[in-house]
C-alpha cells in the first residue's frame, strides 16, 4: 500500500488533466453558445459552432496528453480508459483506483471553477454545465456512447501497440475527440467518460440519464480491448504518450542517466 501511495503525484496529475479539460469545455462552450458574447451572431449556424468547439476540445486533449505532466501519468483523464488498461494488466489495481478517484474529483473541481467564474452564463441553457444528455432517446445515446468509446479505445490501442505509430497516439485521440464533439454530440452529448458526465450532472442535478455514461463507455472500451487481443499485440504501457526521459509507474521504465544517453562511459580513476 505504501509503495502505491508514493504515486500520489500521478493521481494528482490525472485530477489536474480532467479538471483542465472541463474548464476548457465550460469556457469555450459558454463563449461560443451564449448570445451575449457575440459568436452566435457572427456564426449563426449551430453545426459550424459545434465544429469550432470540437476543434478547441481536440486541441485541449492533445495539449494535455503531450504535456510533461500528461506524459508522466499517461493522461487517461477517464475512468473507462483506466479500467480498460487495468483489464489488460497494464496498470495495477491500487493505481487504477487512485486514478479513478482523482479523475472524478478533478472533473468536479473543474466544473465548479467555471461555475464560480461564469455563473449563470455557464449554468443556464444552452450551456447548462456542459452536461451530456441524450436528445434522441436513451437507447440511441447508449448505442452511440458504446460505439464512440469503442472507436476511441480501438485507436489508442492500435496506435500505442505499434512503435511507428505510438508517438501519434495522442494526436489520433485528439482528432477523434474533435470529430465526436462536432458530429456526434448532438445525439448523446459525447461523453465517453463517466467522470466527465458526473462532473456536469452533479451541480446541475441531472441524474436521470447518468447511468448511460457510467455503463456504455466502459463497455465500449472493454470491447475494444477484447478485439485488440484478437487482432494483434497489446499496448506496451498504460500511457497515451510514453516519454523515455521520465520514470513510469506502469511499465517500470527508468530513464537512462545523462552520461549513458550521450554515449559516455563511467571511467574509474
Give the CA angle between residues 62, 65, 67 to the nearest 5°: 100
Task: Indicate the number of domains in the chain.
Answer: 1
Q: Once rounded to an integer, what is the mean pLDDT over residues 55-61?
A: 98
The CA distance from 157 to 144, in Å, is 20
Query: What is the model's pLDDT at position 258?
Result: 52
Q: How large is the angle between the packed helices 79-87 and 210-231, nearest 10 degrees? A: 30
pLDDT band at 100 (very low <50, low <70, confident <90, very high): very high
Q: Exposed, middle or buried by CB within 10 Å (0-12, 13-18, 19+), for 51?
A: middle
Q: Once rounded to an integer, what is the mean pLDDT over residues 206-224?
A: 97
The stretches of the chain forming alpha helices (DSSP H) are: 2-5, 8-33, 39-42, 46-66, 68-73, 79-87, 93-118, 120-123, 138-160, 169-183, 185-188, 194-204, 210-231, 258-261
- Domain of residue 211: give its range: 2-242
- pLDDT, tens digit (0-9, with 9 covering 90-100), for 217-248: 999 999 999 998 887 777 778 888 887 777 78
Query: What is the model's pLDDT at position 147?
Result: 98
- pLDDT, tens digit (0-9, with 9 covering 90-100), for 11-21: 999 999 999 99
Residue 258 within a domain: no
Tell me, what CATH number does 140's domain have?
1.20.1080.10
Residue 220 within a domain: yes
Whether this model's pTM surpasses 0.75: yes
Q: With 90 as the cut, is the pLDDT of residue 267 above it? A: no
DSSP annotation of 91: S
Q: What is the mean pLDDT of the chain?
A: 92
Residue 261 within a domain: no
The CA distance from 71 to 104, in Å, is 20
| Cα torsion angle, 63, 65, 70, 76, sign | positive
Residue 16 within a domain: yes
- pLDDT, tens digit (0-9, with 9 covering 90-100), for 112-156: 999 999 999 999 999 999 999 999 999 999 999 999 999 999 999
Q: With 50 as the cut, is the pLDDT of residue 262 above it? A: no
Amino acid at each position: 500500500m505504501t509503495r502505491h501511495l508514493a504515486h500520489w503525484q500521478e493521481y494528482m496529475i490525472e485530477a489536474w488533466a480532467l479538471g483542465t479539460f472541463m474548464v476548457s469545455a465550460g469556457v469555450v462552450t459558454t463563449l461560443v453558445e451564449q448570445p451575449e458574447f457575440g459568436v452566435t451572431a457572427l456564426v449563426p449556424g449551430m453545426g459550424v459552432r459545434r465544429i469550432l468547439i470540437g476543434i478547441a476540445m481536440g486541441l485541449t486533449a492533445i495539449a494535455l496528453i503531450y504535456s510533461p505532466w500528461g506524459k508522466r501519468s499517461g493522461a487517461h483523464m477517464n475512468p473507462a480508459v483506466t479500467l480498460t488498461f487495468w483489464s489488460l494488466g497494464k496498470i495495477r489495481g491500487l493505481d487504477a483506483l487512485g486514478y479513478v478517484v482523482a479523475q472524478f474529483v478533478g472533473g468536479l473541481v473543474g466544473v465548479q471553477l467555471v461555475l464560480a467564474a461564469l455563473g449563470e452564463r455557464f449554468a443556464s441553457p444552452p450551456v447548462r454545465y456542459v452536461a451530456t444528455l441524450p436528445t434522441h432517446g436513451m437507447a440511441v445515446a447508449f448505442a452511440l456512447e458504446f460505439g464512440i468509446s469503442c472507436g476511441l479505445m480501438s485507436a489508442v490501442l492500435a496506435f500505442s501497440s505499434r512503435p511507428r505509430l505510438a508517438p501519434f497516439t495522442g494526436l489520433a485521440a485528439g482528432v477523434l475527440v474533435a470529430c465526436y464533439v462536432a458530429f456526434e454530440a448532438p445525439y448523446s452529448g459525447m461523453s465517453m467518460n463517466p467522470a466527465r458526465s458526473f462532473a456536469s450532472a452533479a451541480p446541475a442535478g441531472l441524474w436521470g440519464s447518468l447511468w448511460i455514461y457510467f455503463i456504455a463507455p466502459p463497455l465500449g472500451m472493454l470491447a475494444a480491448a477484447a478485439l485488440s487481443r484478437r487482432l494483434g499485440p497489446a499496448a506496451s504501457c498504460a500511457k497515451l504518450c510514453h516519454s523515455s526521459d521520465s520514470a513510469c509507474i506502469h511499465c517500470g521504465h527508468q530513464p537512462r542517466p545523462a552520461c549513458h544517453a550521450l554515449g559516455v562511459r563511467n571511467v574509474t580513476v
